[in-house]
Chain A
Amino acid sequence: MTMHDSDVRAILHRATDHVTGPPGLLDEVRRGGRRRIMRRRAVLAVALAVVVAAPVVGALQFPGTRDRGEVASPIFGQPTRGDLAGDKGYLRQVRERWLRRFEENALDEGLRGEPHVVWAGRTPAGPAAYVAQRTANNPVVSDPQGDRMVAVAAFVEPTADGPRVMAPESVTDAGTHGNSQAALLGPDRNVLLVLDAGAPVEFSPELRYTADGRIDRTFQPVAFRDGAAVLQVPPQRTKITVALARTPVSMANQVHITNATDILFPDGEDLPQPTFSHTLAGAEEVWGDKDVSEVPAFDAYYDAGGAHTHDRSPLLYIKGATPDGRRLLLQTIQYDDDPARVIVLLARDNGPFTVAASGLVDWKAPLPVQLRLPDEQGILVAAEGAALNYRIGAGKWHDAGRDAALLPDNATEVRVTPANGNASTMTTAP
């Protein structure tokens, strides 16, 4: 018997008839998408094949059209800047290392012309530079925007073996936002080199938190001189505490550090971050199809301009409703190995979310999250995988479900029974 095309169609349809959409997909996607946006802003992955880099000095444009043509750009059109611009020996050494780098790891796009040292100067870690070279081909590297790769550029750092070309980035004709404009230099990564891209940049050396878990940074203007600024910073060997951003400081204006990813993910692997999300009883009626993808009330807890890992800490996310009909949203935020913070927001009707409670999370505790809500709206508790019970005074125990619950405001004790473990009983937070 011959099998026709229509048979194949019918078989493929029959083989997938059972597949239906997973529950909660839209919420999960929105949450994941939002996380990706935050991560894109927080940590720039500097892989040559995928980076759509931005010009470091001014905008690169093909004259007239977006077809292949000569690249007119200040990156190539200006003489080398920096206090080593006249040091022919160093510049020659940098160009040699650059050419060797691309001989050993040839670019598919090819290179043409000569490498141009955009900036070269002294730093406390040793001499450093920034180099760019045009590519022979200008493939479209961004789909569907159609941006074309026009050049490749990289910082050159000092090492005991002489200049070393750091991760090269492709430069496109598209424009500039979000590309590496800085590098951490020296064995202790305690020298921050920031190139002058023509826009004001502010810098914060240390990340601190307020008592209620908000980000507490002090930014100061970066003073550029002859094409760059060189800043002494605390060692950033395994964790990045510095933040850099164009003004006004915001996530979107973050200035990326070229080796941030190498520092944060030395084995090349991003750390998985398990996500626990729960929707409490009664949430659907209050939430309807309202959107939660961007909530400005969380902004004070996000580190604008900083780059971090999540250190495998879970992300807990709870949607619910309070007894008086307000929307409730809980989220944890953690950077690196710093304490995880938990924030609860409430919103009435279509009004904006405001912070109702916040605290720290101890993921190893039997009950990692316990927050009392204002206006006698209850006590929000969460322990992934655990059965939850509560009681009032010496009364009988009530079932509060699993994973997360909003307990009555007068609950005095909560019992947490993990899936594989003994029950713990604790008094509720005052």
Chain B
Amino acid sequence: MRDSRGAEFDDFVRARSVALLRVAYLLTGDRHAAEDLLQEVLEQVYVRWRQVRTTPEGYARRALVNRAANRWRRRARRPEQTLGDMDRVEQDHADDVALRGAVIAALLTLPPRQRAAVVLRYLEDLSVADVAAALACSEGAVKSQASRGLARLREAFAGSDLVMSFANISRSSR
């Protein structure tokens, strides 16, 4: 029997899974958890494909945010895993690993919705309206969440020479 999801679903997964995985990674702070989260969400998309096929990415993003937040609530009762233990660091440059660690650590200090607002706004470059759709809240709420989140990130990054020097280099190279 032919699968009604067909090539359209496959194309969606192939085209968007890396971007969604990156979002999941910053929401969870853990590569393996991010992969699990993404797979769960894409399975959910698969099941509901007929309903969401016109806007699969929006649906997936929203599910990612919700599941990441729920995961966080559950995880709060369990010991944290160390990022370095779980991540694939062996192939990476030491500075990149350190930068990544600092970014993840800073993001994890944000409440889940602030974190999601920042990640969707500044990693995914989504408009305020699209972030509002993903977070199921008003655009005003997104603006305040992103702004608070950004302020806290700036504070956290200010204490990291590595992050600041990266920002400096990055800006001077533009």
Chain A residues in contact with chain B, CB under 8 A? 1, 3-22, 25-26, 28-30, 32-37, 40, 144-145, 289, 291, 293-296
Instruction: Decide yes or no whether B13 CB sits under 8 A from chain A.
Output: yes
**Least distance between A217 CB and chain B CB atoms (Å):** 22
Q: Is the beta-carbon distance between A144 and B59 smaller than 8 angstroms? A: yes
> Please, what's the 1-or-0 string for B21-47, where 1 marks a CB less than 8 Å from any CB in chain A?
110011000010011001110111111
Q: Is the beta-carbon distance between A1 and B47 smaller than 8 angstroms? A: no
Partner of B125, one of A9, A15, A19, A289: A9
Closest to B41 in A: A29
- Cα separation A4 to B153 with both chains bound (whole Å): 11
Q: Is the beta-carbon distance between A12 and B122 smaller than 8 angstroms? A: yes
Q: Is the beta-carbon distance between B1 and A4 smaller than 8 angstroms? A: no
Closest to B35 in A: A22
Instruction: Decide yes or no whether B99 CB sits under 8 A from chain A.
Output: yes
Q: Is the beta-carbon distance between A33 and B47 smaller than 8 angstroms? A: yes
Measured between beta carbons, the chain B residues less than 8 angstroms from A294 are 1-3
Q: Is the beta-carbon distance between A291 and B104 smaller than 8 angstroms? A: no
Partner of B46, one of A5, A12, A30, A296: A30
Known: A7-B171, A21-B18, A293-B46. 17 other contacts (CB 8 A): A3-B157, A3-B164, A8-B153, A9-B123, A10-B166, A11-B163, A12-B26, A13-B123, A14-B166, A18-B100, A19-B31, A29-B39, A29-B42, A32-B43, A36-B43, A144-B51, A294-B3
**Least distance between B22 CB and chain A CB atoms (Å):** 4
Closest to A12 in B: B123
Q: Is the beta-carbon distance between A1 and B164 smaller than 8 angstroms? A: yes
> Please, what's the 1-or-0 string for B139-163, where 1 marks a CB less than 8 Å from any CB in chain A?
0000000000010011001100001
Instruction: Decide yes or no whether B85 CB sits under 8 A from chain A.
Output: no
Q: Is the beta-carbon distance between A25 and B31 smaller than 8 angstroms? A: no
Would you mind naming 12 contact pairs between A and B with Cβ atoms under 8 Å apart?
A3-B157, A3-B158, A8-B122, A8-B153, A12-B122, A15-B100, A16-B22, A16-B26, A25-B38, A32-B40, A33-B46, A294-B2
Partner of A16, one of B55, B123, B125: B123
Chain B residues in contact with chain A, CB under 8 A? 1-3, 5-7, 9-10, 13-14, 17-18, 21-22, 25-26, 31, 34-35, 38-40, 42-47, 51-52, 55, 59, 88, 92, 96, 99-100, 103-104, 118-119, 122-123, 125, 150, 153-154, 157-158, 163-164, 166-168, 170-171, 174
- Cα separation A294 to B17 with both chains bound (whole Å): 22
Q: Is the beta-carbon distance between B26 and A7 smaller than 8 angstroms? A: no
**Interface SS majority for chain B:** helix
Measured between beta carbons, the chain A residues less than 8 angstroms from B125 are 9
Q: Is the beta-carbon distance between B21 and A21 smaller than 8 angstroms? A: yes
Partner of B103, one of A3, A12, A40, A293: A12
Measured between beta carbons, the chain B residues less than 8 angstroms from A293 are 3, 5, 46
**Least distance between B140 CB and chain A CB atoms (Å):** 18
Q: Is the beta-carbon distance between A19 and B171 smaller than 8 angstroms? A: no
Q: Is the beta-carbon distance between A25 and B13 smaller than 8 angstroms? A: yes
Closest to B101 in A: A15
**Least distance between B2 CB and chain A CB atoms (Å):** 7
Q: Is the beta-carbon distance between B167 and A3 smaller than 8 angstroms? A: yes
Q: Is the beta-carbon distance between B13 and A26 smaller than 8 angstroms? A: yes
Measured between beta carbons, the chain B residues less than 8 angstroms from A21 are 17-18, 21
**Least distance between B78 CB and chain A CB atoms (Å):** 15
- Cα separation A18 to B55 with both chains bound (whole Å): 27
Q: Is the beta-carbon distance between B168 and A1 smaller than 8 angstroms? A: yes
Measured between beta carbons, the chain A residues less than 8 angstroms from B34 are 19
- Cα separation A175 to B3 with both chains bound (whole Å): 25
Measured between beta carbons, the chain B residues less than 8 angstroms from A30 are 9, 46
- Cα separation A4 to B172 with both chains bound (whole Å): 13
Q: Is the beta-carbon distance between B170 and A10 smaller than 8 angstroms? A: yes
Measured between beta carbons, the chain B residues less than 8 angstroms from A16 are 22, 25-26, 123
**Least distance between B132 CB and chain A CB atoms (Å):** 14
Q: Is the beta-carbon distance between B3 and A291 smaller than 8 angstroms? A: yes
**Least distance between B88 CB and chain A CB atoms (Å):** 8
